[in-house]
Chains A and B, each alone.
Chain A
Amino acid sequence: MTIRRPIVWVHGDDLSPENAAIAANPVAPAIFVFDDRAIERYKVTLKRIAFIYECLLELPVVIRRGDPAVEVLAFAREHDADAILTTPSPAPGFRQIVRTLERNLPVDILSGMPFVPDLHYDLGRFSRYWRTAERHAMSAADE
């Protein structure tokens, strides 16, 4: 299926204007959602919200609040979108949201430049990870 009218969902792990999802489709409408429940669950203080907000002011996004899945889907409907583009996150909450979105629209998760390639790393201890990662980490990505 070819995607014609995607929207971009920007989340808190990727607040760069060079976000891979924005870069892939710079004219697509983009949204960020403050997750009210998460803010209460983690008892986040205002300075963290302000920092994120200042990042958002430099991005071409509509800012809303509420349940991220609900808000992103509403935004997709407003724009008659046929797909959602976003970027990856290791957070379990992210996977949950993506599952909800996917019940309604295809979700394309686009990655930016990796720090080290996605090989198999032994994560038992940092030293074991570093044994494999060091060589890659120490060479510039743009070489």
Chain B
Amino acid sequence: MTADLRRDFADRDDLSVYLREQFPGATARGEDISPIRGGRRSALTALARIDPVRYAATRNDLNGAVTRLSPYIRHGVLSLAEVRDAALARAIEPGQAYKLVQELAWRDYWRRLYAEIGAGVWRDREPLKTGKRTDRYAPDLPPEIERGETGLACMDAFARELRETGYLHNHARMWVAAWVVHWRGVRWQAGARWFLRHLLDGDPASNNLSWQWVASTFSSKPYLFNRENLARYTGNRYCRECPLRDACPFDAPYEELQARLFPGVPSPDHRPAARKDRRR
């Protein structure tokens, strides 16, 4: 039996000092404490701020009205049912909450699948649709990606945000994952492990299956984005300052990226109406 860990702390700094002492291994890997606070009180404050209508209209935008509830939901501080009920209560008619409820449902879906396949979330659910075999992908994440030192302003900023806050917007997660797997040719598992080390909402169900969705081992085609798409949903904030703005690997029409990244694979329909720039 071990001794009880402490429960009385003067403030957050006091807690951080104690945790650094108690968990030297975790501290060596990343000693940042997120600005996002744990606990039911913080969760309820965040829940009181959700806006289902603006959510539906702006959720793909990095500055959009996303809820940021994922760490609380991941750890059961808030249940999906109670977030859904709050969303419906805030809507004048249920349809206004549809988009948010459907996103909550993604978590329920991934969790049900996880309950069925368990450690199978670490294995390819289906063959890749990229025209490349799994063994053509690198098993490990290049260290400069993790450190955020690749020179790509967007990706480096996302890596830093992940490390410092343990949170990333859904669209940023999709871009990072697509870049790691399709541009850098790294196995999705390496990216998934990286995310799980840092994400406060890190969960093998949502995380690994989303990586597989991007990679195409759990979808009918690989997820791709381009510079125009990233610039639009980030208000061009990264591209403006990017040292690689004239050598951007994402700066091409979808057809061209498709041909470059997946040679020999027939191009899926990339008309904006059909692909909606995103997954769903």
* Bound Cα distance from A129 to B20, whole angstroms: 43
A13 contacts across to B, CB distance below 8 A: 75-76
B39 near A58 with CB under 8 A, answer: yes
Interface of chain B, helix or strand or loop or mixed? helix
Within 106-143 of A, Cβ neighbours of B (below 8 Å) are at 112-116, 121, 123, 126, 129-130, 133-134, 137-142
Q: Which of B19, B84, B118, B199 has the most chain A CB within a 10 Å cutoff?
A: B84
B38 near A45 with CB under 8 A, answer: no
B84 near A64 with CB under 8 A, answer: no
B38 near A141 with CB under 8 A, answer: no
B84 near A141 with CB under 8 A, answer: yes
B105 near A50 with CB under 8 A, answer: no
Q: Which residue from A47, A123, A140 sits with its C-beta under 8 Å from B113?
A: A123
B15 part of interface (Cβ distance < 8 Å): yes
B7 near A16 with CB under 8 A, answer: no
Q: Which residue from A44, A58, A92 sits with its C-beta under 8 Å from B40?
A: A58
B242 part of interface (Cβ distance < 8 Å): no
Knowing A17-B40, A115-B84, A140-B84, the reply to whether A47 touches B105 (Cβ < 8 A) is no
B26 near A39 with CB under 8 A, answer: yes
Nearest first, the 7 closest Cβ-Cβ pairs linking A and B are A54-B38, A45-B30, A90-B115, A14-B76, A115-B80, A92-B118, A63-B5
Task: Name A's B-contacting residues (CB within 8 A).
Answer: 12-17, 19, 34, 39-40, 42-58, 62-66, 71, 74-75, 78, 87, 90-92, 112-116, 121, 123, 126, 129-130, 133-134, 137-142
